[in-house]
Structure 1
């Protein structure tokens, strides 16, 4: 899980604090190591004296031989490195512990913030439900008042309603009487209607029979007219043939007359 912003800030502050502590205690730690080293290198005769300061110890080391200076520097470096490594390991452990603590506190803070957000949402939901319930209660109260007013109005109208009920009952009795009369009249009219239907059916049957008779008569007349038309057509053809024959005879007579005239003129000319 990547570090959140509060966790990163806490880790940065912790590292800054550790670096500050290292910078402030570095010189003091070197002086303490130098004093311990000088004390371990002193001869039994020198152990009775007091331990010199760091500057005096370094001056005494430089006054020794070259081999002693190398050995003292190596031992000093080794002790310093060992102490620094031990100190750095402790500081790393402390930093790791603090980082875990910061991570745990950050998670707790995030959970608290999430719970606070959920609680806020629940509170908002509850407030909205309360407001809705208040509105519903106000509406119900208004509706109850209206119903009470309607009940009072109806209670005031009960006497007039009783009178109206009596009038309605009397009107219903009159209506029932009229309904019985209308039913009897309807029964009588139904009988008359049945009689009229029988009469109309008989008239319709008679009219259909008359119509059939007229249709047959018209059919016979049409047949006779067709026969007469056919005979007239035949007669017309005969007359046409007779006219044509007469026309032919007239033409022949005219031709004969013309011939006679021609022959008469020829005889007259010869005379």
Structure 2
């Protein structure tokens, strides 16, 4: 299968660890060809969750098989409580993470540690993962003492974002993901913020002509921040934490059960904005 030009492509500039982020609709069929074009072949693990796997495992596995790979599917139960080492049972190369943030974090951590590092491909299927979690190399799993306490920086070799997968995302999760989209408008892009205000109904209606460029704009901002401060050592990456101080506190207080991450961040952004007005 020939790799078609993506509607949008963002380059994450990290020298030898640079990688492309391709954004469009109907891109799941390109996962295999793009991975093969990057020089990989042979066995690979397709890590996904039960819910996402039921929807998209077969088309992605077919794409990998047609490109000459021998994929092995590894499904984990849905939910943050399953983001732990008990599910790191398969050792294959490369690893393809198909799903939301939990799948991406778990597969990313597996890729960063197994055999001292395996190639990772992120195929995010939630809005929050598409505009944030899949880009930047942060991986982590939970510990009994807290969330994401065990982790590493491990950049993917490729990120494929198919916005068509958002059509099967529960509406509450999509709306929660919009909080991270709005965040980019507030911290870096007034034009994006204006677009969100003007085209909110189109976004909520998943109109691809609006959704694809909005997701691509968010990816460009995340890529720029990551390129400037990959490991959070220079301070530039801290801007991405807007809304997260209060948001994380709310998640802890509610034991990660009442609020989705985006919902907590949205409340945190409002709180931060109100505090800023008093300073």
TM-score (norm 2): 0.17
Task: Give the helix-richer structure, 1 or 2.
Answer: 1
Task: Give the strand-richer structure, 1 or 2.
Answer: 2
TM-score (norm 1): 0.18
